[in-house]
Amino acid sequence: MNHTAAPFSRRVAPALAMATAVVLALAGCSSSSGGKKSEEDTADASAGKASTPRMTIAMITHAPSGDTFWDTIRKGAEAAAAKDNVKLIYSNDETAGDQANLVQNAIDQKVDGIAVTLAKPDALKDVVAKAEKAGIPVVGLNAGMTAWKEQGLLSFFGQDESISGQALGTKLNSTGAKHALCVVHAQGDVNLEERCAGVKKTFSGKTDVLYVNGSDMPSVKSTITAKLKQDTTIDEVVTLGAPIALTAVQSVSDAGSKAKIATFDLNKELVSAVEKGAIQFAVDQQPYLQGYLSVDALWLYKNNGNYSGGGEEPVLTGPAFVDKSNIDSIAAFAAKGTR
């Protein structure tokens, strides 16, 4: 990209990059959010907001409607925006082509920075390049760890999905599971595919992959139920999102199966399910932190020329396991919608 700070910033020492990430992580505060596709201005900033000139940042995600995971990302982004005197424009579309159009809209509005998810990197490649050519700094979050550097983004905030999948697979080995069903709720989403591939790589038992339509929960429920009835050897259902996990609980019951359920990602209802033992454990990637750091990183770049991760390494927000041993320490934050 044509940013004058790039040559120096990309040589920032790892220790400095880590220190920057720690400072960012400690700066969060709470904020309200909604779940529908929209463009909203975070108008009311907190009392301690930055005195730097007002800037506009667009956050564009591939979030499907109604998935509370993305509400948490948005809350983090709004909290950082309030602190940093930033006008935040949030929009989302799970269709890659439409998401690309939203990025183009942000370019046309001449925003000061863009935070984007790259669930389908090839579909966003050209429009990301247009943003960079227009001199608009771009950071990635949540999806696109294998593509962010190639596409020239400043930084990336998320978890290595392959590593997180492998960690879950390894944990399953200690549970006695023999046959896992990995449920992919959005076919072609690189994050989800990498998770299942990671599970298969380290899990010593058999791993099957089941594709479902994550935007149609009754269909998700019936598809998982039918699979469990068809193959009674499945003793572990691995889901890739909290709403799918909660639906899988119903499927296991309907199928009369004894399968356990493990999942990626949290929401308030899933925390309760872990507390009750309906869900074994969850892999938490801290979505609030992803939203917060993305906005804060663009503010830091504009006002101090900083690159989180030195522009060379991603800033990891996960994975971390949440189970009965530590759920109590997280439940209070989940109740506020920030975990």
User: What is the residue-level pLDDT of the chain in tens, covering all 339 positions?
Assistant: 444 334 333 333 333 343 344 334 333 333 333 334 444 444 443 446 789 999 999 999 999 887 888 999 999 999 999 999 999 999 999 999 999 999 999 999 999 999 999 999 999 999 999 999 999 999 999 999 999 999 999 999 999 999 999 999 999 999 999 999 999 999 888 889 999 999 999 999 999 999 999 989 999 999 999 999 999 999 999 999 999 999 999 999 999 999 999 999 998 899 999 999 999 999 999 999 999 999 999 999 999 999 999 989 999 999 999 999 999 999 989 888 898
Whole-angstrom Cα distance, residue 115 to residue 300? 13
- Residues in Cβ contact with 167 at an 8 Å cutoff, skipping those fewer than 6 apart: 198, 202, 283, 319, 321
51 phi, psi to nearest 5 deg: -95, 5
Residue type, 160: D
pTM of the predicted model as reported, rounded to 2 decimal places = 0.80
Whole-angstrom Cα distance, residue 217 to residue 224? 11
